[in-house]
Structure 1
Amino acid sequence: MAISLAPLPLPESGDTSKFADFGREVKGVNPGTLSPEEFEQVKDALYKHDVLLFRDTSLTPEQQYALTKAFDPQSESYGHGNNKTGSNAKSILHPDLKTIPRVPQVQLIGNGTVFEHEGLAEAKLKHPSHTTFHKTRVSPEDEAKGITRFYRWHIDAALYDLSPPRVTTLYGITVPQGNRQTCRYDDGTGDELQVPLGTTAFVSGKTMFEILPSELKSLAVRSRVKYSPHPYVWMAPAHALSTGLGIESEGLELPADQLPPWEESKIKILPILWKNPVTGQLHFQVHPCGAAELLIDPLPSGAQREGAIYPDGGHITDVKEVRDILYKMQRPAIAPSLVYPHDWSERDLVLFHNRGVLHTVVGAFATDQVRAFHQCNLAASDDPTGPSAEDVKKWC
């Protein structure tokens, strides 16, 4: 039986022309018990639409792990390594994740204290807040009025040793209701976005690439990012920009000799653009907070050199310059009209193409507002595929 797909409801701020292919609600099937034929349809839909929503579904941790693993049967461990983030108190992810004991690939995330949950007698959860990570913060007075920010735009990935997961699944178990909030960019543009309380916000990596001017498309198609070893430990002392799209360059990152032991061979060097395995389209997929260097190939022979950026290639090691280049390329795609902020209900299951979108936590909860979600993503069995020689020729 063919699955049924319906467009996701967009906020009034959304540019419908940019969301024509983005996001679908899946109806008529149980995501926990998909037949092989149904799964293939779901898999195809995910890569074509990047975000899938199942409403009012019951899903055990075992079923969520099995569904996530089906997208990459050779994958096994949680995207950051089973229990690794929980055991490393220096990581900025340390407060945000609690492992389900019997299914260590599934994490409990949320806010407040949860009791007797899937083998956890007591779990104290902390919803990530910009107040602990950004260089500046919304004033307490504005926060009381419902003003908030994006926390950290990112891809779910360890970015060291392990390959970026293909898919992330998020399942809402306890979802507190409350007033909508205003997400401010606070970057001098005046941009702001009305969002549901505790939304997860998504932007399309495909759109991020498509809206670039030609000279930046040429740069993107020729470039790779070298990430820091143990990037979440490296960035922990640093502060984020007010948009959540990268780190302020203040020299606060941990020096290499203060990081946990690392090997050069395990550092990730990944293309800026990742090829969609179904559509063949290119998605701009960079975790701006972990980027340390840029490696740029020269223009191919016969390419137009006039107006080209780094026509002879380059290796940029100054982290501020790296961040400035990436910000210039990524900031247009988080404009309010291009953000999908999901309005969570209990028993919502969201699957997203982790190699095709960036996402972020948004908002803030009171300490007595309990929120519980299950999250699963698995370190992939391979690294993403970058642009082909034909892609480079086309976009240069």
Structure 2
Amino acid sequence: MAIELAPLPLPPSADASKFTEFGKEVKGVDPGNLSPKELEEIQQLLYKHDALLFRNCELSPEQQYALTKAFDPASESYGHGNNKTESTKKSILHPDLKTIPRVPQVQLIGNGTVYNHEGLAEARLKHPSHTTFHKTRVSPEDEAAGATRFYRWHIDAALYKLAPPKVTTLYGLTVPQGPPQVCRYDDGTGDELPVPLGTTAFVSGRTMFEILPPELKSVAVRARVRYAPHPYVWMSPARALSTGLGIESEGKELPLSELPEWTEEDVKVFPVLWKNPVTQALHFQVHPAGAQELLIAALPEGAKREGALFPDGAHITDLKEVRDLLYKMQRPAIAPSLVYPHDWHEKDLVLFHNRGVLHSVVGAFTPDQVRAFHQCNLAASSDPVGPSEEDVARWA
């Protein structure tokens, strides 16, 4: 049976004209048992469309690991290091992940208590919620009435020592049902997004770049981000913006001297724009919560200087200035019309191009609502590729 593609089930809030290429539902193949030819086709489709949905899959942890690894055969460890998130107690990721013992590259995530699951006698899962991570929160009364927020817009990546995974696979095993919620931005814009309970929200990094005005495209194509060492420990005392798109600048980050041992050579500096290996498109791929500095190259010779920002380049070390500039560039792309909030069903498998999209957990569950997902991503065998000289000449 040939592979068939169907559009993703877009909500009424989405601007369909912005999703003509983003995301496809794949039919006609078993993602746990792909032939070499099918696998090659799926790889091409993923990089072309950035997110693929498979419905009603049977997928073991071993199969999920094998599928994820196929996108980068030289990769081996989980994106944050095997068994590392549980050993780093100060990391903000610590409560969210439980490792499958026999396949340490696959994590159990969700909510509530799960018993006798893939070698785990008892796993207490905690769905990450804005209520513990944002500076402000939706009131308990509004939350009871269905109001919620994005938790944290991010890329799956350690952002220190390890290269960002190329692909993440998410597999829904137990999916509690409940009334829809309204995701509030609470940033003065009045923006709101109706969402299914416990959705995963996705936005396109390609769209994030393409909708920028020319002067910000010029900055993006010339810029690199320096991430903090052990960023999830560094940011742990700080709190996030109401949109989940970065951190409030209040000076609460841990001093570098209080972080676990780190070396300068393991600190990651990535281009703001990452090049898609199949389409050659540029994707705006920045994890705003972990960013510490921005390094912006000067305009290339012959480029138009009138109206240009940072024509002579810049090294921005003021954390608030770094965050404000990134927010200015990233916020337009999380507008309600540009967000795909996936409505999970049991046995849904979503593959997404982790170097081409940003995503966020959304919503909150009550303690008795049990949710269990398997997540897999693998620290890549190489770092992302940034813009070419031709790209810089075109956009700068």
CA offset digits 1:236-271 (Å, max 9, x no partner): 000000000000000000000000000000000000
Alpha-carbon shift at residue 122 of structure 1 (Å) = 0.1
Aligned to 1:12: 12
Taking only aligned residues, the RMSD between alpha carbons, in angstroms, comes to 0.4
SS of residue paired to 1:32: coil
Aligned to 2:160: 160
Alpha-carbon shift at residue 309 of structure 1 (Å) = 0.5
Aligned to 2:309: 309
Match for 2:5: what amino acid? L
| 8 Å CA contact retained: 1:86, 1:98 | yes
Structure-to-structure mapping, 1:51-90, within 5 angstroms: 51-90=51-90
SS of residue paired to 2:32: helix
| 8 Å CA contact retained: 2:51, 2:350 | yes
Structure-to-structure mapping, 1:40-119, within 5 angstroms: 40-119=40-119
**Residue ranges of structure 2 left out of the alignment (5+ in a row):** none
**Residue ranges of structure 1 left out of the alignment (5+ in a row):** none
Structure-to-structure mapping, 1:379-394, within 5 angstroms: 379-394=379-394
SS of residue paired to 1:176: coil
| 8 Å CA contact retained: 2:2, 2:29 | no
Aligned residues: 396
Q: Equivalents in 1 of 2:114, 2:85: separation in Å?
A: 20
SS of residue paired to 2:367: coil
Aligned to 1:286: 286
Alpha-carbon shift at residue 9 of structure 1 (Å) = 1.1
Structure-to-structure mapping, 1:208-357, within 5 angstroms: 208-357=208-357
| 8 Å CA contact retained: 1:205, 1:285 | yes
Match for 1:285: what amino acid? Q
CA offset digits 1:138-181 (Å, max 9, x no partner): 00000000000000000000000000000000000000000000
| 8 Å CA contact retained: 1:112, 1:371 | yes
CA offset digits 1:350-369 (Å, max 9, x no partner): 00000000000000000000
CA offset digits 1:260-307 (Å, max 9, x no partner): 000000000000000000000000000000000000000000000001
Alpha-carbon shift at residue 2 of structure 1 (Å) = 3.6
Match for 1:132: what amino acid? T
CA offset digits 1:81-123 (Å, max 9, x no partner): 0010111110000000000000000000000000000000000
Match for 2:319: what amino acid? V
Q: Equivalents in 2 of 1:20, 1:9: separation in Å?
A: 12
Aligned to 1:22: 22
Alpha-carbon shift at residue 3 of structure 1 (Å) = 1.2
Alpha-carbon shift at residue 52 of structure 1 (Å) = 0.2
SS of residue paired to 1:374: strand
Q: Equivalents in 2 of 1:351, 1:265: separation in Å?
A: 31
Q: Equivalents in 2 of 1:209, 1:329: separation in Å?
A: 8
Match for 1:163: what amino acid? A
Aligned to 1:183: 183
| 8 Å CA contact retained: 2:51, 2:352 | yes
Give the TM-score normalised by the residue count of structure 1.
Answer: 1.00
Q: Equivalents in 2 of 1:340, 1:392: separation in Å?
A: 30
Q: Equivalents in 1 of 2:352, 2:243: separation in Å?
A: 22
Q: Equivalents in 1 of 2:177, 2:171: separation in Å?
A: 16
CA offset digits 1:17-58 (Å, max 9, x no partner): 100001000000000000000001100000000000000000
Aligned to 1:200: 200
Aligned to 2:36: 36
| 8 Å CA contact retained: 1:160, 1:266 | yes
Match for 2:328: what amino acid? K
Match for 1:295: what amino acid? L
Match for 2:210: what amino acid? E
Q: Equivalents in 1 of 2:151, 2:333: separation in Å?
A: 16
Give the TM-score normalised by the residue count of structure 2.
Answer: 1.00
Q: Equivalents in 1 of 2:46, 2:2: separation in Å?
A: 15
Aligned to 1:374: 374
Q: Equivalents in 1 of 2:90, 2:19: separation in Å?
A: 38
